[in-house]
Chain A
């Protein structure tokens, strides 16, 4: 397992952090690729300067709406100096069921790869955050809805096993519609495989923080996303087991505004915290000071102000 990762962080530093903002994604890197100088906020419908939003980590400066960001942007945002080594980039789907609906699964995979510039719905990075050794995974929602098939399951399990071996902190940033239908029951079994590995990590006392972003539903929520030592979420993210449409069909009613959003889950005791993307890195570093061994702990920041308003 060791040394199999390509040195993406070093060879291909696509997203180094700069002036606290994010560099625009490469031509191929999906989600926020919109031509032009302006961007319309999905939260407040305001037309904004793209540059302003990018410098604000893709959070609307007016209403705080969190735009989706790509997995690469996410890793760059969290690791120290945006630098990391990518692991397990060479794992790709084998189409085990030879699945075919209106399109073949193979075809869907190829288009997803071309559209997103990544080979699967999750990336694994190894590096440091606040000086702490960490393995951070970020899901790519633009890749077949961030769905979890055998490759995602294997990459998460390997990341857990690596954290177990190196005692680096594990952070997984989810964005997923759930298990990948095109790999049938094998996708389902990834939930059990990952959860079994997390049991070992739990026993070993290695920290695991789950960060849920918009949206996190289905088999991803019902496995690793809800099994963190801390389960946190970005504001306004849709988080649940069943999707809202399925629930509406079951109860034959419209769902109330805000149902299954981060704040709703917080209120119902399902999350430890809702954390703004602009404070996420700091938040994670502080929690790691609590969880990581003392000899790895860098000095405290010296800041004393409260970062979040009380609810």
Chain B
């Protein structure tokens, strides 16, 4: 971490100068220098907070300025028309769906939506969908299937909403049904984990042909805090849980759960969301190109085999099995 130490020393010096200058800056030149200096300090700070531990990445994945689905939509897609409601109960603002154009081609976009300010966050329920959100997403995806349009899904949720109303309306059923139906949708699906891949609530719109993941996104069966509370009986051990859960993009690539990591701008996606969108755009183009010429049968079969292969276990020989049973009995 010599590089990091260097940045730290430079930061200390620059901050000292910034302090002095801001005390006495009166002339125009001094003001300009001050602005330039401020920018330089900011950039260095971003570099300095580059993630090292899994928990660093968890924090970046949850950064309130991180670009969300509608941000990506505005930078990557054209002619977006949002469609609302599950035609059963309500419209869930925690998931957005819409028709759009991607480099000219008609496509369907679906994704979790968080908010950038308090009011928005509340309106979006912090990106935690209820059953109607998942049902809306599937309704939209079936529309894509009907008109043979590819689907782009963006995943960023702490998890499915754990509330009374969500349970009453069948949160588990809504998720389960999406998993089964997405597995057999007869159109290409490109999934991007953009922020928090919060367990079943994330997976419910994340079954696809190519799974991309932003560099500092996370994807996990449970939040590090939840895991720590259960296994360590202490939520403050979240940093240990975050390491143990292997929830970062490089971990997931190694475990065969995702296909590609999308690099983020220095400091993270929030530091330069526009640049993030440009990078992601290139990856989306490439992903779609990879699967678009497959026949529908090949595509669906490939998707089946992809998820079929996930998981790691041991197959014992009959002899090993008997030995294990004897050992456990003794």
Choose, from A67-75, A99-107, A283-291, the stretch at the interface: A99-107
Task: Determine how close the nearest CB of chain B comes to the CB of A293; give it in whole angstroms.
Answer: 23
Given contacts A196-B180, A251-B163, contact A186 B200 (CB under 8 A): no
Task: Determine how close the nearest CB of chain A comes to the CB of B36; give it in whole angstroms.
Answer: 44
Q: How far is it, in angstroms, between the C-alpha of A241 and the C-alpha of B164 when the chains are bound?
A: 11
Count of residues in A whose CB is under 8 Å from the partner chain: 70
* A196→B307 contact, CB < 8 A: yes
User: Chain A residue with minimal CB distance to B233?
Assistant: A102
Q: Taking the complex as formed, is B246 at the interface, i.e. its CB lies under 8 A from any CB of chain A?
A: yes
Q: Mark B219-232, 1 if CB is under 8 A from A, else 0.
A: 11110001100111
Q: Mark B252-282, 1 if CB is under 8 A from A, else 0.
A: 1001010000000000000000000000000
Q: Taking the complex as formed, is A204 at the interface, i.e. its CB lies under 8 A from any CB of chain B?
A: no
Q: How far is it, in angstroms, between the C-alpha of A117 and the C-alpha of B330 when the chains are bound?
A: 11
Task: Determine how close the nearest CB of chain B comes to the CB of A238; give it in whole angstroms.
Answer: 11
Partner of B304, one of A190, A196, A223: A196
Q: Mark A180-206, 1 if CB is under 8 A from B, else 0.
A: 110111111111110111111011000
Residues on the B chain within 8 Å of A266, using CB: none
Task: Determine how close the nearest CB of chain B comes to the CB of A137; give it in whole angstroms.
Answer: 16
Q: Taking the complex as formed, is A235 at the interface, i.e. its CB lies under 8 A from any CB of chain B?
A: no
* A191→B203 contact, CB < 8 A: yes
Task: Determine how close the nearest CB of chain B comes to the CB of A1; give it in whole angstroms.
Answer: 11
Residues on the B chain within 8 Å of A100, using CB: 244
Partner of A242, one of B162, B169, B240: B162
Given contacts A97-B245, A151-B313, contact A196 B177 (CB under 8 A): no
Q: How far is it, in angstroms, between the C-alpha of A203 and the C-alpha of B304 when the chains are bound?
A: 14
Q: Taking the complex as formed, is B7 at the interface, i.e. its CB lies under 8 A from any CB of chain A?
A: no
User: Chain B residue with minimal CB distance to A120?
Assistant: B313
* B246→A185 contact, CB < 8 A: yes
Residues on the A chain within 8 Å of B244, using CB: 97, 99-101, 184
Partner of A181, one of B200, B204, B222, B313: B222
* A94→B314 contact, CB < 8 A: yes
* A241→B166 contact, CB < 8 A: yes
Q: Taking the complex as formed, is A59 at the interface, i.e. its CB lies under 8 A from any CB of chain B?
A: no
Task: Determine how close the nearest CB of chain A comes to the CB of B257; give it in whole angstroms.
Answer: 5
Residues on the B chain within 8 Å of A47, using CB: none
Partner of A190, one of B199, B220, B310: B310
Task: Determine how close the nearest CB of chain A comes to the CB of B161; give it in whole angstroms.
Answer: 8
* B200→A191 contact, CB < 8 A: yes
Partner of B176, one of A28, A157, A185, A221: A221
Q: Taking the complex as formed, is B316 at the interface, i.e. its CB lies under 8 A from any CB of chain A?
A: yes
Task: Determine how close the nearest CB of chain B comes to the CB of A188; give it in whole angstroms.
Answer: 4
User: Chain A residue with minimal CB distance to B240?
Assistant: A101
Q: How far is it, in angstroms, between the C-alpha of A22 and the C-alpha of B316 when the chains are bound?
A: 31
Q: Find the residue from B163, B175, B177, B324 having the highest chain A CB count within 10 A.
A: B175
* B231→A199 contact, CB < 8 A: no
Q: How far is it, in angstroms, between the C-alpha of A180 and the C-alpha of B329 when the chains are bound?
A: 25
Q: Taking the complex as formed, is B183 at the interface, i.e. its CB lies under 8 A from any CB of chain A?
A: yes
Q: Taking the complex as formed, is B172 at the interface, i.e. its CB lies under 8 A from any CB of chain A?
A: yes
Residues on the B chain within 8 Å of A250, using CB: 161-163
Chain B residues at the A interface, C-beta cutoff of 8 Å: 160-164, 166-173, 175-177, 179-181, 183-184, 197, 199-200, 203-204, 206-207, 219-222, 226-227, 230-232, 240-241, 244-247, 251-252, 255, 257, 303-304, 307-308, 310-318, 320-321, 324-325, 328-329
Chain A residues at the B interface, C-beta cutoff of 8 Å: 6, 28, 89-94, 96-97, 99-102, 110, 113-114, 117, 119, 149-151, 153-154, 157, 179-181, 183-193, 195-200, 202-203, 218-219, 221-227, 239-242, 246-247, 250-251, 255, 259-260, 268-270
Given contacts A188-B221, A222-B172, 7 further A-B contacts (CB under 8 A): A90-B317, A119-B325, A119-B328, A183-B221, A184-B245, A186-B257, A226-B172
